[in-house]
Structure formats: structure tokens, C-alpha cells
Structure 1
Amino acid sequence: MTTKATAIGPEREKLDANLAKIEELSQRLIEALAHRKPINAALNGPEPLLYAQAMQAYWQESITNPAKVFEQQVGYWGKSLSHFLEAQKALSEGRLAPPDDPGPTDKRFKNPLWDSHPYFNFIKQQYLINAEAIRNAVDEIEEMDPQEKRRLRYFARQITDMMAPTNFFATNPDALQRAVETEGDSLVKGLENLVADLEANNGELVVRLVDEEAFEVGGNIATAEGKVVWRNRMMELIQYSPTTDQVRETPLVIFPPWINKFYILDLKPQNSLIRYIVDQGYTLFVVSWVNADESYRDVGLEDYIEDGYLTAMRVVREICGVDRLNVVGYCIAGTTLALTLSLLKKRGDKQIKSATFFTALTDFSDQGEFVPFLQNDFVDGIEKEIEASGILKSFIMSRTFSFLRSTDLIYTPAIRSYMMGETPPAFDLLYWNGDGANLPGRMTMQYLRGLCQRNEFAEGRFELMGETLDVRDVDVPLMSVTAETDHIAAWKDCYRGVQKMGSRSKTFVLSESGHIAGIVNPPSKKKYGHYLNPDLSLPAPEWQQSAEYHAGSWWPVWEAWLRKRSGKMVTAREAGDSEHPPLCDAPGTYVRVKANQ
């Protein structure tokens, strides 16, 4: 007995010491939260009217079809009661084992204790029963606008995801086991992680997904050699150093999205699209956009086009001594590239030989997964936030995208960091994902109101820079590259926009994977394939059904397509010229500015 007590004593002392640390950290937590400046409440959820409409529809259903409502309720009660009785029966028979669990697998419940331990199994099964009941209740509401019902379904899913037992310490066996194994160290480290995240974001909870100390822009990521050859208030223009003795005569300019930084195309040498393009013998320029601050309040899409696209195109033509060039637009920069091409068409300007669109939307008639965020209550909230700060802050955009995959991008990382006390991983893609940019206020509202909500470009009535822009004006040879599981720019929506474009030469590529991995898909990995089908008259599902599948990356297919539109071989060009001397080394200065500065 004495030996056992001696063994337990030091363990208990360590646990008590850790509990004391938790008390100290709790005070820091309170102080961090005291500095929080809440954003507009409209950005945290739908207006109450949505739930009122749901309740009204449900009440109407109970009056007109009470049997159906009672059937739903009795079904839920029956499952819950049977579940409780099975657990009671097992306990009364002295069996500390749960009943058989025939339910579907769920990666949140991969710990064996969820199936083998009666307590955890009961909690898991009851949670799944509750979640199913909520889904069914929403699905069977009939007297409700389909778009509002879609929003309700989304927010109902957010509620059930938030209430998962894995998200609470007392009902998470992984967290409890880790706390016991580490004698409370995991709780201390987890609370330290939580406090650090709050302090780093002025009291706003932004879960850190990656070890930020593991990466340096220009150090171990974004390291392709090049020079900044032009800079203005909107962008830095980078010309990358040639790696071949000769290059194609026609230069290529890439316009990346300004929601994130351009170096997604140059994370590391093995998956760098920038390096790949240069190695194939092209003179490559890439725009690095400014990270907007409050002084950019009145900057609009017209500024991005005039001081970004048109200026970059002019400088590239001057440096390379050519009249025409090829261009690429990625995501929102692809949408704006289409606007620019429409503008050039109106002006009779034929400087563009070809355009490539990476996951770019131009027709917003179906808002897809963004329906919850593109209704007036949410957009009104964004507008009020912009009126106060002049910009749409990066963390608001990041949070919005994260909630589309809340289990993977919010709750699971929070569990690992705050409950398990784990250090975030050193993952370059997640580092880039967290290195966002602020958006100018005027541009944000033009995009949300004119393009997303009113779909004016696809309908041929988007007023900008003295012209009425129409997606049908896009008539240059083009290739559109989309991604099969993209939840930001759904491929079928991208396809619909391409169908409306006026070009007689269109190539549409459907890559496997999502918004990032579908684009950053080097041939060396031999990971994701792609689909091709020249018949763009088909509806999207039929296009895919009859498309030819090709294993491996789409990069070589695109390069072969681009090569035909890039002219003869000429001597490789060094960066800049006498009129455009290099200003600094790539990746430049704008890319290093953090959104919270």
C-alpha cells in the first residue's frame, strides 16, 4: 500500500501543478476576450426571419398534415427509446458492452471506444439519431421557398456539426485519454494554444491550422527566381528568370486571385506551376496583388482592371517587344479577366491571343454552396462591416470558406489544438491558406451585388468603365480548367459560363480533386486525372458522362495547347529592360504584407 501511494503521490502533484497553470491561463483567456471587437452580428448567422419562416412552414404542415408530423415525431421518439432500452438491458444483465451499431462510419468517431464503451457508444448513437431527426425535419418542410430551405438546411447542418460530442471535452475519449496519459499536460498546452490564438487575433477565435514558424515566404516557399519589374498601388509585376536558352516569342501573364497570395503556384519546386511553365520555355510574368488596407476603401473592379490587368499587359508588351500576349486568370482573377476581355472587345483591342481560366466563375445564376452567404441579410452585414472599416477583413472571408467544411477546417483542428494540446503541423498548403488578404470595400460590394447576386455579367448588363460588359464578348481562343470536387467554384457553374462565351475555340478541362489540388497537380505526382470532351453544347452532366478520362495531370495538355498560340522560339529574355529596371528579387514586397497589419 505504501509503495502504491508513493507512486501515485508525484503524479498527483504534477496534476495539481497543471491545474494551477490552467487557472493562470484562464486569467489570460479572460483578458484576451476582453479585447475582442465583435463584427457585425449579421455575419454570424441568418436573420431570425429564416427560422421564423421555417417554424411557420412546420406549423402549417402540422395543421394541414398532422399525421405526417406525428409520424416524424413518433419515429424519433421510438428510435431514442429503443436506444435507451437497449443500453439499460445491457447494464441490467451485467454486460458492460454496447448494443450492435449498424450505423454508417464517421471519421469523427474513429476511436474504438466509440463502439466498445457503453457510455461513449450511447452518446454517439443518440447524437446520430438527433442529427438525422433534424435533417429529416428540414427536408420534409414543404411550404418554404427552395432557396430559403437550402439556407435552412445549411445552418441546420452547422448546428448539428457544432453539437457533435467530439467537440466537448467530457464526451471526447481521445481528449480524456490524452489528459490522463499526460497528467494534465495536454490541457495546459491546449489552453496555451487557445490563449495564443485569441491574443494573436484581438480576441477573435481563429483556429491556427499550421505551424507558422516553419515557413518563410522567399525562404523555403515561393523561391522561384525572378525580379519585380513594375510596381504601382495595385500590384507588383514579377518576371521569372528563364531556365532555357530559348523561349516562345509570346509571353504569358498570370493573374492570381487577390483573396489569397500568388505563391500557391510556387509552394515548393516539386509542385510549382511557375517553375513548370518556365522550364517549358515561356517568358512568364505573374502579378502579385497589394494587400489592401483601409486606404483602399474606394478601390473597385475598375481599378483592378486599369491599374492591374491593363497596366500589366502594357508593361509586358513593352518589355518583350511584342504586340500580343497570352493570359491566365485564377478564381476571382479569372472572373475579372473575363470582364477585361469583354472591355477589350468593346474597345476593339486585340492584344490577347488566348486566355486560360482556372476555376473561374462568370455565371452566378446558381450560387451553389454559397447560397447561405449571398442573401441580403449576410451581404448587408458585410456592407455594414465595410462601411466601418473600409475593407472586408481577411479573417471574415477565411471563416466563411471554412464553414463550408466546418468539421475539417474548424472543429477537428480546434480539437487537436485546444483539447489534445498538439502543435499545428508544418504544412505549406495550410500556411498559404492562412496567409490571406483583405479586400477593398468598393470592389467587394461590386462583386457581391453586381456579379453574384444580380448576375449582371452573364446577363449582359454589367456597367463598368463606361461600357456594358457581357460574357458573350469573350471571343478569344480559351481553355477553362475546373475541378471536380471544387466547393468554391463548382465546375458545372464554370461550365455554364464558358458555354455562354463567344469564342469559336473553347477547350474545357475537368480535373479531379478540388479548388487547389485540382490546379496544383504536377505531372510528376501522377495523382489526379482529368476529363476532356470537345462537345460543349451538352448539359454539364452529359458532358462529363460522355467525356474521355485521362490519367495524370492536365498540365501537359494545357502546355501543348498554349504552345500552338505562343509563336516561334527566340533568345531567352532576362528580367526587365532599360525602361523597366528590376526593382527587387521575387517574390517581391507586397506578398510579405500580412492581412492583420
Structure 2
Amino acid sequence: MALPLSREEERVSMADQQNSKQATPNADHHPDMKIPDPAEVSKAMANIAERSQRLVSDFLARQAEHPEPAPTDLDPMHVGKAFMEMTARLMANPARLVEAQVSLWQDYMNLWQNTARRMFGEETSPVIVPDKTDRRFKDDAWHENEVFDFIKQSYLLTSRWLTNVANDVEGLDTKDAKKVEFYTRQFIDAMAPSNFLFTNPEVLRVTVESGGENLLKGLEHLLSDLERGHGRLRISMTNESAFEVGRNIASTPGSVVYQNDMMQLIQYTPTTEKVKSVPVMIVPPWINKFYILDLREKNSLIKWLVDQGYTTFVISWVNPDETLKDKSFDDYMLEGTLAGINAIQDATGASKVNAIGYCLGGTLLASTAAYLKATGQDRLNSATFLTTLTDFSEPGELGVFIDEEQLDALDERMQKAGYLDGGDMATTFNMLRANDLIWSFVVNNYLLGKEPFPFDLLYWNGDSTRMPAAMHSFYLHKMYQENKLIQPGGVVLQGVPLDLGKVDIPVYMLSCREDHIAPWTSTFAATNIYSGKVKFVLSASGHIAGVVNPPVANKYCYWTNNRKVKSPDAWLKGAQQHEGSWWTDWNEWCAPLSGPDVPALQPGSGKLPVLEAAPGSYVKIRAV
């Protein structure tokens, strides 16, 4: 995905020139060091003090009006229990711990010797090097300066030691082992020397050159993020003023033709004279907003589908508040997928749809398909599942947050508020990639004092949504914790037991090789469940980039294998790699299932009138 960096670089360059003009030369200081204007510093500090005081006052006022009860559980994630168990296991095998400690000291001895030799001008090979994809140490000083090279290598050695110790504990419960591994990585990422002023060479250099102006700006950014989060830190990942839903993102022409409490149904304006007679209905996840599939014209799956001659409908879920706390998973099916199919029939006259479900939307689509089969309703012509879990036995890193104690605490919080706050969801997902989605912005925004780049994907990522209490509790307990959806009759919706094994419509499954939210080896399990013909396709990259991969980008490849095999490893071993986007492969699969071409219909020309222009009003409701 191309970033609009050229304008930003131009703006930064202009700012540097202005700073250079404002700098006061002084022979007693470093020639590159800027002496800030005392009046400007005083003004900035006064502004910071005023805003800080206001934040504290607002916090105290909220506490007085709605006092928070003292926490009954000082460890809501129950991390301490897992680490205590790990410590006990380590103490039971002191020889292994001593062996690991000796190995670490040997590595440090080699590092000290190499550093000393470098300081005397000798060429030495590093004891350890960062991964090629690790952007934290891209500044030249991390390699060229002996001190910073020592700091970097000592951090990497300690990180490797901590990781090995945490991952090499015998007899630890599987859930505890994963929790220890996950939170050890969180600690390691947080303690990186790049995250601190005095151990980050780039930050030190910028601080000297700007006379500390970067730190003042960083403090202002920190206060702005606290203000945006109403006292809770909400890190700015992009310049939000650069985007507007409906103007330069989510801007594919269309109309809202149906709505209820749960969703708006968008029908997109055709760009071809004739269209395929079977419409497409996209069911996005309600954990995020639908316009990840319609960011910009060049990478919009929705726009591409319309241009291929598909009459395209998208469900735009409401961002629920406490009034919808009792909305259940049943309601998402009744007022979401089933209501959408009925509305599409009214709009086009088509009795069936080719449905596409993404992530949680795919889980709902699978449930809907089983419900329709059990009730004898022939409404789905085919189903496409994008990065969709139905077997939750191996849910990936999200499983760290799923256990009885954590779910009980979460249920209690959701019952009080009526929903799960969007900020909680955002924090959870950001933790899965903390270096990219947390610490890189801490360094850029707060230490370097830079403005975040305007990036459409990160704007979408920050546009968080809430989860109704009843639905989210059901989803986490029945699927993530108990893995009931995969069991015949394990999940009951509207009094109807669901059996995915009886779903016999054509199915296209797309998974992504680097997906950390819906691991492809877990999603693959569904290929052996559905009784109809299933095509499984594996895309390169992750949960988002692997899906939003337009053919014009020619960026990622994908794999196919027409043989039916039981295991994901066997499937990949016999798979054929294809360059380009899976979109074209899907089109070749879906076009024969889409009926003959018919004249295109404009939104509002059927039984459903136009209610408002796309992308509608529901998608514009923000969580904060």
C-alpha cells in the first residue's frame, strides 16, 4: 500500500528550513544545535500546564460523579498466576536455569571483548544481529557507534535469553505457557532501548539539533492523545484530519436502501450496462467498520466487484451503545444476514445471493448457512469466507485473552456498561503487534515530536467500534472458549441447532499465511467440515494486507491446491504458487455461479427506496 509520504516529507523539509532560520547562532554551542526562543518555550509550557491541569480536573470530576470501586482483582489478566507457575517449574529444575544463565554470561563476555576490540580499532563480527525486518535499529548509529552497538546487542542477547527461558519450561499448562510467552514478549518489546530518550541515538541527535523542541512537541502530542481519549491514552497513529468517511475513503458511489437497529444495507451504483443476475452480499466484521474493503478507489474490493459486473451490497453495522446491550448473536443473524438477504430480494428480485463473510462476519455467515440449511431455506447460492475461524481450538494469539477468569471479569465490565468499549478492543489487537502499533508511535510522536503520517489504513484501524454485551459474551464463551460451533448442535440460534457439516453450497475459503488473528492452519480445518465443494486459497501477508490486495498492485502471491487433503501442511506442500492477487482467482470461481447477465439496476429502482447516499450514517458513528 502506497503511503502519501511525499507531501509529508516536503512539509517536514519546510519546517526544518524555518527552524534553521529561527535558530540563534552561538559559538558556545554545537553549530547544529538550535537555541529555542525563550518566549515560545514559555508559551508552550504554559499551554502544557493548563491542559494538564484541565485533564486532572476532568478526571477528579468524573471520579466524584461516578467513583470507581476499588479493584477486587489486581491482576485482571491473571498473568501473575502463569508466571508464578513458570517460576515454580524453573526452580524445580535448577540445572537448566544455571545452564541458561551460564550461556547468557558467555554471550556477554564475547560482547564485552568484541566491543573493547572495536574501541581499539579492530574489525569484529557482531555476537547477535537484529532481524532484517526489525525497524527499531535502522539508524546508522546503532551499527557505527560502539556504545549504541553494545546497547543494541546486549538488549538482543537478554531478549533471546528471556524468550528461551520462558519458552523452555517443561510441564507448564498450555494456556499458561502461551500467556507467559505472550507477556514476556510484551515486556521485551516495552524495554527496547529505542523506546527511551537516553538510549535512542536518533532521539538524542534530534534533541540536540532542535534544542529539545522535539520533547516539547512530544509532550503536546501526549496531552492531545490523553484529551482525545478523555483521560485514557489514545495514541494517534495517523493524521485524522486528512481523512473523511464518504469523501476520500469509503467513497464508492452507492445508496443505503434498507436499515434497522443493527445495520444499514448499501447497494452500490453499477458501472457496467449489464450485471450478473445473482447479487453479492458482503458481511464484514462488526469488530471493525466495513470500509477496510473500500479505503480508496485503487485498493477497494467493493469498487473492483462493481467493475466486474456484480450487483454489490454491503452490510454496514451500527456502532452500538448501551441501548443495544441485549442484542445477541441471534439478532446479528436475524437483523443482519437474513434481513440483508430479504432486502436484496426486494431490491433486485433475486431469491439467492453469493455471500462473502470477512473474519467475524464469516463466522456469522457460516452460522447463517447452517441455520438456512436446517430450516430448509435455499437462500445462499455460494459462500466465500475471508480469514474466518469456525474451529476455535487453535485461535492464535487472541487465545491468550480467553480463559474463565478473564471472561468472568470481562462479562462483569460489559454488564455495567452495556457494551465492550472500542478502546479495549483496539488495545488488544495493538498488543498483538506492539512494536508496529504501539512503540513505533511512542518514539515518533512523543520522543521525536513528529506528526504521524496520513495513512488511510491506520485511520480505519483507529476508528474503533463497541460490542454489545450479550452478543460478545456469547461469542467469546461459545466459540473461543468452548469451541461449540464446530460441534453438531453445539450452537443453537433461534431454537435451531446448527450443523456446519450439512452446509453443501459451493464454498471459497481465503486465508492468509501471516495472519495472527485467524491463523491459516486453524481456518483450514473447515475444509474438512462442509459437505459441499470447497476451494481453499492461501494468500501471502496478513489478516488485512493479504485480503486487500488489488490486482493492479501486483504485490502479493497466493497458493492453490485442488487436491483434498486433511492437514494444512500436506496442503501447502502440494500447493501451486501464483503471482498477483487472489481477487482474479475468486472471480473465475464465482462468475460461473452468478447466473446470466441482466440489465443493471440503479439503487432505488426496485421495491426499496434510497434512504441516503453511501456510505450511510451508521459508519460515521465513532466510539470516542
Task: Give TM-score, length-normalised by structure 2.
Answer: 0.89
Q: Is the 8 A contact 2:34 2:208 kept in 1?
A: no
Matched, 1:496 2:525: yes
3-state SS of 1:4 partner: coil
Task: Provide the residue aligned with 1:198 in structure 2.
Answer: 226
Equivalent positions of 1:246-257 (< 5 A) are: 246-257=274-285
In 2, Cα distance between equivalents of 1:554 and 1:6: 58
Matched, 1:74 2:126: no
Task: Provide the residue aligned with 2:129 in structure 1.
Answer: 104
Equivalent positions of 1:352-501 (< 5 A) are: 352-460=380-488, 461-501=490-530
Structure 1 gap segments, 5+ residues each: none
In 2, Cα distance between equivalents of 1:6 and 1:516: 49
CA offsets, 1:200-224, max 9 Å, x none?
1011112110100000111111111
Equivalent positions of 1:533-552 (< 5 A) are: 533-552=561-580
Task: Provide the residue aligned with 1:237 in structure 2.
Answer: 265
Task: Provide the residue aligned with 1:520 in structure 2.
Answer: 548
Q: For the aligned residues, what is the CA RMSD?
A: 2.5
Matched, 1:301 2:335: no
3-state SS of 1:230 partner: strand
Matched, 1:185 2:217: no
Equivalent positions of 1:262-301 (< 5 A) are: 262-301=290-329
Task: Provide the residue aligned with 1:324 in structure 2.
Answer: 352
Q: Which moved more, 1:175-184 or 1:40-49?
A: 40-49
In 2, Cα distance between equivalents of 1:256 and 1:548: 29
Per-residue deviation at 1:536?
Answer: 2.8
Q: Is the 8 A contact 1:43 1:382 kept in 2?
A: no
Q: Is the 8 A contact 1:256 1:330 kept in 2?
A: yes
In 2, Cα distance between equivalents of 1:549 and 1:8: 56
- Decide which of 40, 43, 48 is 1:25's aligned counterpart: 48
Per-residue deviation at 1:433?
Answer: 1.0
Q: Residue 73 and residue 578 in structure 1: after superposition, are their counterparts in 2 closer, same or farther (change >3 A)? A: closer
Q: Residue 82 and residue 270 in structure 1: after superposition, are their counterparts in 2 closer, same or farther (change >3 A)? A: closer
CA offsets, 1:461-491, max 9 Å, x none?
1122101112213221110111111111111
CA offsets, 1:111-168, max 9 Å, x none?
2222232332232222222212211211221121133112101111111111111111
Per-residue deviation at 1:435?
Answer: 0.9
CA offsets, 1:71-90, max 9 Å, x none?
22222233335544655677
Matched, 1:48 2:73: no
Q: Is the 8 A contact 1:98 1:117 kept in 2?
A: no
Task: Provide the residue aligned with 2:15 in structure 1.
Answer: none
Q: Residue 319 and residue 180 in structure 1: after superposition, are their counterparts in 2 closer, same or farther (change >3 A)? A: same
Task: Provide the residue aligned with 1:163 in structure 2.
Answer: 191
Task: Provide the residue aligned with 2:37 in structure 1.
Answer: 14
CA offsets, 1:227-260, max 9 Å, x none?
1101110000111111111111111111111111
3-state SS of 2:444 partner: helix
CA offsets, 1:420-442, max 9 Å, x none?
01111111111111112111111
Task: Provide the residue aligned with 1:208 in structure 2.
Answer: 236
Q: Is the 8 A contact 1:43 1:378 kept in 2?
A: no
Per-residue deviation at 1:514?
Answer: 1.1
3-state SS of 1:260 partner: coil
Q: Which amino acid aligns with 2:516?
A: H
3-state SS of 2:147 partner: helix
Q: Residue 314 and residue 175 in structure 1: after superposition, are their counterparts in 2 closer, same or farther (change >3 A)? A: same
Q: Is the 8 A contact 1:19 1:184 kept in 2?
A: no
Task: Give TM-score, length-normalised by structure 1.
Answer: 0.93
CA offsets, 1:342-378, max 9 Å, x none?
1111101111111111111100011222221112233
Q: Which amino acid aligns with 2:467?
A: L
Q: Which moved more, 1:27-36 or 1:581-590?
A: 27-36
- Decide which of 504, 523, 537 is 1:509's aligned counterpart: 537
Q: Residue 6 and residue 500 in structure 1: after superposition, are their counterparts in 2 closer, same or farther (change >3 A)? A: closer
3-state SS of 1:76 partner: helix
Matched, 1:132 2:160: yes
Per-residue deviation at 1:109?
Answer: 1.4
CA offsets, 1:492-542, max 9 Å, x none?
111112321222x11111111111111111111111111111123231011
In 2, Cα distance between equivalents of 1:115 and 1:243: 54
Matched, 1:61 2:93: yes
In 1, Cα distance between equivalents of 2:442 and 2:462: 15
Q: Is the 8 A contact 1:42 1:381 kept in 2?
A: no
Q: Is the 8 A contact 1:486 1:514 kept in 2?
A: yes
In 1, Cα distance between equivalents of 2:516 and 2:437: 13
Structure 2 gap segments, 5+ residues each: 1-24
3-state SS of 2:310 partner: coil
Task: Provide the residue aligned with 1:560 in structure 2.
Answer: 588
Q: Which moved more, 1:351-360 or 1:573-582?
A: 573-582
Q: Which moved more, 1:585-594 or 1:266-275?
A: 266-275
Per-residue deviation at 1:384?
Answer: 2.1
Q: Which amino acid aligns with 1:183?
A: G
Q: Residue 78 and residue 102 in structure 1: after superposition, are their counterparts in 2 closer, same or farther (change >3 A)? A: closer
Task: Provide the residue aligned with 1:571 in structure 2.
Answer: 599
Q: Which moved more, 1:226-235 or 1:516-525?
A: 516-525
Q: Residue 10 and residue 251 in structure 1: after superposition, are their counterparts in 2 closer, same or farther (change >3 A)? A: closer
In 1, Cα distance between equivalents of 2:341 and 2:311: 13
Q: Residue 568 and residue 53 in structure 1: after superposition, are their counterparts in 2 closer, same or farther (change >3 A)? A: same
Q: Which amino acid aligns with 2:27?
A: K
Q: Residue 9 and residue 594 in structure 1: after superposition, are their counterparts in 2 closer, same or farther (change >3 A)? A: closer
Q: Which amino acid aligns with 2:521?
A: K
Q: Residue 9 and residue 59 in structure 1: after superposition, are their counterparts in 2 closer, same or farther (change >3 A)? A: closer
In 2, Cα distance between equivalents of 1:433 and 1:155: 23
Task: Provide the residue aligned with 2:7 in structure 1.
Answer: none
Q: Is the 8 A contact 1:87 1:98 kept in 2?
A: no
Per-residue deviation at 1:11?
Answer: 4.9
Q: Residue 420 and residue 9 in structure 1: after superposition, are their counterparts in 2 closer, same or farther (change >3 A)? A: closer
